[in-house]
Structure 1
Amino acid sequence: MPVNATSAAAPRPLVFAGFPASSWALALRVWLAMLLALYVSFWLELDSPSSSALTVAVLALPTRGQGMEKAGYRLLATAIGVAASIAIAGLFSQTDGLLLAVLGIWVGLCVYVAGMLDGNRAYAAALCCITVALVDIQQIDTPLQVFPAGVARGAAIGIGVLAVALVNEVLAAPNYHPVLASRIEALYHRAADLAQGAERASAPAAASLLHDIAALRPEIASLATESSIGTARTEAARAALVDLVSALSLGRMLAALPAATPDTAGLIATSRSWLQTEIGRKNAQVRSSLDALREGTRPSHAWRAPLYRSRRIAAETGARAAVSFTLIAVFFVLTGWPSTELCLSLVAVIIGLSSTSPAPRSFTLVTLTAMPIACALAGMLKYLVFNGVSEFQLLAIGLAPVVIGLALLISLPNPTLSSLGRLVLVFTIAVLVPTNPQSYDPEMFLVASLFACLSAVLVFAAQMLLPPLSGDRRVRLLLGEARRELDHLDRERTRYLAAEEAAFRDAARIEQILTAKGALPLDGQITAKAMRCFDQAEALRRCRAELDRLRLGPLAEAAQDAREALAQRNGGAILASADVLREAAVRSNLPANSAIAMLIAASGAFAPSRENRGERP
C-alpha cells in the first residue's frame, strides 16, 4: 500500500549544495588533518613540512580502514625508498650518466613490482619509485644531503599519518565493513538473479559479475586496520567472495549440462542433483560469511583469494617506464637547462602513479589537466590570498576553500572527477610548498610551475613516442596465458590451491581482461573465449580433485580412465568415462556421485557446440 511503501522507504541522505553530508564530513576531516599536520611540522621546524600536508591529501579516503591501510603502506614504502635513495646516492653519486641510468632501472623495477600487485600494495611499490625521485633526484648535486632529506621526509610523512589517524578518531570517521558487506550482498543477489534468469548461461553477464567480485579483493584488506576484530572481518569477506565465485562457476556448469538422451538420462539427473545441492551449500556459506563479516567473527572456513599475476605484462610495462624516464633524463642532459631536478622528480612521480592505473595514458591526460589547474590555484593562494602574510591562522583560512572544495570533488562517484580532484589537491600542495615562514619569490614560483607543467607534457610525449601496453595486447596476452594454463593444467603451478581458490584466481584474470581497455567495451567474442577457458579450467580442477579421492581402492582403475579422458579434452570421451565410473561404483557399492557429477559437467564444458551456452562461436 502507498502508506506502507512510504514508511518502508529508506531515509534520504542529508544534502547540502549538491553534496551529501558524508562528503562534507570527509572534506572537513581532510582540512583539519592538513592543518594539524602543518602546525606540528612548523612547531617541530621540520625541513619538509609540505610532505605532511601531501600525506593528508593522499590519505583523503572516506572510511577509517581505507585511510589507515594506505597509511601503513605509505610508511613502509617511504622507509624502503629512503634506504634505496641512500644506497643509490652512496654508490653512484660521482657518476652522472650512470646515476641517471640506475634511477631509470629503479623506476622500471618499481613499476614492474606494482604490476604484480594490486590495491595499496601496488601503490606502495610505486611510492618506492616516487620516494627515490623526491630524495635522490632533488639532491643530485648535493649527495651528502640525501640522508637528512630522507629522514625529514619520513618524519613529515609520519606526522601526516598521525594527524589523519587522530582526526578520523576524534570525528568518528565511518568504518568500511558495513559498506563492503552491503556490496557483497548485492553481488550475491545478482548471482542469484543470474542463476534463475534467462541470462544464466550468458558469458557477458557472468564475466561482468566475476569482474565486480574480483574487483573487491584489494578493498577487503583495509578491514584489518579498522579494529581489533578487523582480521576476522577480512577473513569473512574473503571467504564470501571466494564462495560466491565458486557458486557462480557451479551454476554455469549446471546450465551447460549436455542434453539428456535415453542412455544418459540417469547420469545427467545425478549430475544436476549434485550440482544443485553443492550450489545451495555454497550459497549458505556465502550467507554465513556475510553474517560473520557483520558480527566480526571468523568464518566457518577460511579461503585464500589469490591474485592473478601476468609477469609478461608487468615486465613490458616496467621496461617502458624505465625507457621513458631515461629518455626524458637524456633530454634534460642535452638541453643543459638549470634547476630541472623538480621536473625530473615529477616525471618519476607521474610514471609511478600511472603504473597503478589500468589506463596509464588516460591517467597522464588527467595529470596534464590537473597540473596547470594546481599551479593556478597555488598562485592565487600565494599571491592573492596570503599575499605576504605568515600567520598560521590566515594560512588555515586561506586553505579552507581549496582543500574542502577539492575534497568534495574527491568524494564524487565519477572516477575521472575523483581522480582529477585528488591530483589537483596533491599538486597544489606540492607547488605551493607551505613553509614557515612562507616564501614569496615570484621567480622561483614561476619556474616551479613551469617545470611542473613541463613534467606532465614530457611524460605524455614519451608515451606518444613509446606507447604504453595497449588494451588489445593486454587482452591477447591474458587470453594466451589462460589457454596455456588450460593445456598444461595437470602440471600447473597452482596445484597448491584449492579448487575454489583457483577459481577466484581465474576470476581475477577475467577482471583484468575486462579492464584492460579501460572504459571501452570489450568484444563479445573475447568475453566468450575468456569465460570458456574459465569454465573448462574449473571443471577440470574439480574433476581432478574428485578423482584424486578415488586414487586408492576398487575405483582406482575407473578413475584413471577418467583422467585419461580428461587429458583428451573430448566431451564424448569424458561422458563415456563417467558411465564407466558409475558402473564400477555400482559393482563395488561405493559412492562416487561427486566425481560422476563433475565428469558430466566437464563433458558439457568441452562439448564442441556452444549453442546451449548462449555464446557466439
Structure 2
Amino acid sequence: MTAVADAQPLTFAGFPGSSWAFALRTWLALVIALYASFWLELDAPYSSALTVAILAIPTRGQTMEKAGFRLLGTVIGCAASIAIVGLFTQTQVLLLAALAIWIGACVYLAALLDGNRAYMAGLGVITVALVALEHLDDPQDIFDAATGRGAAIVVGILAVAFVNDLSAAPDYYPQVLAKLCDLHRRIAGYAERSVGGETLPATMAAGLLRELTLLRPDITGLATESSAGPARSAAARAAMVNLVAMFATARALEGQPTASPCASTLTDELLRKHAEVRGNLAALRAGERPVHERHAPVYRSRRIALANGLRAVVYFALASAFFVIAGWPSANAALALLAILIGLSATMPDPAVTIRLAVIAAPVSCLLAGVLEFVVLDGVDAFPLLALALAPFVMGSALLMTRPNPVLAGFGRINLVFIVLLFLPTNPQSYDPQAFLFTCLFLLLATLLLAAIQIVLPPLSGERRIRWLAKSARRDLAALETGAGPCLAPEEAAFRDAARIGEMMMAGGSAPQNQPAVTQAIACFDHAARMRLCADHPVAKREP
C-alpha cells in the first residue's frame, strides 16, 4: 500500500510562493509607475504609486476591472472638484457645505452598489479630497491638478496591466469554479437529505446563502480577465443564480407531504436545476456562454444607504467646523486625509472597524515612512536606490494583504496606502523633515478626529441594519402575496432575496441577539420560494 501525500506549496518565511509573486508584482508595478511619472515629469507622480497600491490584487481580472472603475471614478471626481470649487470658491462655508453634500452623495451611492462599483463611488470622495481640498487656497490650480492626477492614474493603471501580463498573473476563474463546484456539491447533498425529510437550521441556511451571494463581485470581475472572460462571467453568474434557486427549491421541499402535487413539482424542478447548474459549470470550464443567461440582482436598502450618507455629511461638517474654528494654517491637508478615510471606509462592510484599523496603522505607517525617507534613503537621488529602498516596505505590506485574516489583510492595504501618502515620492525628493512631520501630524489628527466623531455619532449598527433588512423582507413578501412584487424570473427573485440575507449575515447575523431576525428572513425566503414554485399558489411571472 502506497500513501500519496498532497503536494505542499512552496513557502518562504511563512508565506506561500503565490504571495511572494504577488508582492514582487506589486513592487515592480509601483517602481515602473514612478519611473514613468518621473520621466514624463508629471505634477503628481505619487498618484501613480498610489494607484498601484490601491489596485494591488493577486489576480488579473479583478485588477483590471478595478482599474477601469478607478479611472471612471477619477474622471467624475475631478469634474465634480472643478465644478464645486468654481461655483463656491468665493464663500468658504458654502464651499465646505457643497463638498460635504458631495461626500454624502458618494457614500450613499457606495451603499447601493457592490464590489468595484462601490469602490468607484468611494473614489469620488478620495478624488475630491486630493484635488479640491488640497487646493482650497489656490483654486486657480484646480484644473491643472485634476488633469495631472488623471494622467498619473493612467500611468499607474498601465504599469499594473504591463506587469500582470509580463509575469502571467493568475486568472481568478479557477478559484471561482472551485467555489461553485464545492457549493454545488453541498447543496446537492442537502437537497437529497431534504427529500428524506431532513431540515437545515435557519442560521446554517443563511450562512450558505451568504457564501453564494458573496461571489457576485468576483464573478463580475471575470469579464475583464481574458477574451473568454465575458462568457465565463455569464456562465458563473448563471451557475450562482441557479444554485440559489436549487437551494430555495430544496428548502421548499422541507415539510411537504411526499405524495402532494407541490412536492412532485418541486422534485422535478430540483432535478432540472441540478442539471442546469452542471451545464453552467461545464460552460465555465470551457469558456463558453451558458444556454440560459441569468441576471443576479442584489438587494440594497435605500434607508441604510441614506443613513450612511447623512452620517458622512455630518462627519465631514463637524471636522470642517473644528478646523475652521482652530484656524490652523495648512489644515486643508488634514481635512483631505479625513475625507480619504471616509471614502475608504464607505466601501468596507464595517466602517467603524476600518477607522479603528486606520488609527492603529497611522503611527506605524509614520514610523515606517520616516525610516524609509530619512534612514534608508537619507538624501539619495538615484532612482535605482529608491526602487531598492521601496522593496521591503511595499512587499511587506503586500504580503500582509494575502493573509486570510481580514484584520491583517486590511492593515496591510491601509499601511501601503499610508506609506505612499506620507513618503510622497517626487523628482527630486525634498527630504524636508518639517514637511514630513506636519504630514504625519495631519494623518494622526485626521484618524483620531474621525474616530472621536464616530464615538459621538456612531455608524449605523449591525443590529439596526438587520432589523431594517428583516422588515423589508416581510414587506416584500406581503407585496408578492398581492402580485405587486418586482417583475423578475423566479430564479432571479430568489437570488435577490438571498442577497438580502447575505447582507444580514455580513452585518452580524450570526450573533445570538440577531438570530431571531435572520430566522424570520429565512422564513420569508422559504415562503416566497413556495409561492413562486408551487402551482397551487399562482403568482404572476415574467421573464425580464
**Runs of at least 5 residues in structure 1 that lack an aligned partner in the other structure:** 261-265, 552-617
1:203 to partner: Cα distance? 1.2
- Equivalent residue for 1:71, pick from 48, 67, 73: 67
Aligned partner of residue 253 in structure 2, secondary structure:
helix
Kept in 2: contact 1:494–1:502 (CA 8 A): no
Q: Within 5 Å, give how 1:594-605 maps onto structure 2.
A: none
Q: Within 5 Å, give how 1:70-469 maps onto structure 2.
A: 70-197=66-193, 200-258=199-257, 266=259, 268=260, 270-469=261-460
Corresponding residue of 2:489? 498
Aligned partner of residue 132 in structure 2, secondary structure:
helix
1:544 to partner: Cα distance? 7.5
1:495 to partner: Cα distance? 3.1
Q: How many residues align?
A: 539
CA separation of 1:178 and 1:550: change in aligned 2, threshold 3 A: closer
Whether 1:38 and 2:34 are equivalent positions in the alignment is yes
Q: Distance in 1 between matches of 2:473 and 2:509?
A: 20
1:490 to partner: Cα distance? 4.8
CA separation of 1:69 and 1:405: change in aligned 2, threshold 3 A: same
Q: Distance in 1 between matches of 2:14 and 2:445?
A: 35
- Equivalent residue for 1:62, pick from 46, 55, 58: 58
Aligned partner of residue 138 in structure 1, secondary structure:
helix
TM-score (structure 1 length as normaliser): 0.85
Q: Which portions of structure 1, spanning 4 or more consecutive aligned residues, are displaced by more than 6 angstroms?
A: 548-551
CA separation of 1:438 and 1:489: change in aligned 2, threshold 3 A: same
Deviates most, 293-302 or 186-195? 186-195
Cα distance per residue 1:527-558 (max 9 Å; x no partner): 2111001111222233489846899xxxxxxx
1:357 to partner: Cα distance? 1.3
1:492 to partner: Cα distance? 6.7
Cα distance per residue 1:153-204 (max 9 Å; x no partner): 1000100000000000000000010110001111111212333458643211
The residue identity in structure 2 corresponding to 1:361 is A
Deviates most, 73-82 or 484-493? 484-493
Cα distance per residue 1:343-379 (max 9 Å; x no partner): 1011111111111112111110001111111111110
Q: Distance in 2 between matches of 1:348 and 1:521?
A: 35
The residue identity in structure 1 corresponding to 2:122 is A
CA separation of 1:548 and 1:96: change in aligned 2, threshold 3 A: closer
Q: Distance in 1 between matches of 2:373 and 2:343?
A: 28
Q: Distance in 2 between matches of 1:213 and 1:493?
A: 27
Corresponding residue of 1:558? none
1:526 to partner: Cα distance? 2.4
Kept in 2: contact 1:374–1:428 (CA 8 A): yes
TM-score (structure 2 length as normaliser): 0.96
1:296 to partner: Cα distance? 0.4
Aligned partner of residue 42 in structure 2, secondary structure:
coil
The residue identity in structure 2 corresponding to 1:193 is G
Q: Distance in 2 between matches of 1:217 and 1:412?
A: 22
**Runs of at least 5 residues in structure 2 that lack an aligned partner in the other structure:** none
Identity within the alignment, %: 52
1:484 to partner: Cα distance? 1.0
Q: Distance in 2 between matches of 1:202 and 1:416?
A: 29
Aligned partner of residue 282 in structure 1, secondary structure:
helix
CA separation of 1:492 and 1:164: change in aligned 2, threshold 3 A: farther
CA separation of 1:306 and 1:493: change in aligned 2, threshold 3 A: farther
Aligned-residue RMSD, C-alpha: 1.8
Q: Distance in 1 between matches of 2:445 and 2:398?
A: 26
The residue identity in structure 2 corresponding to 1:297 is E
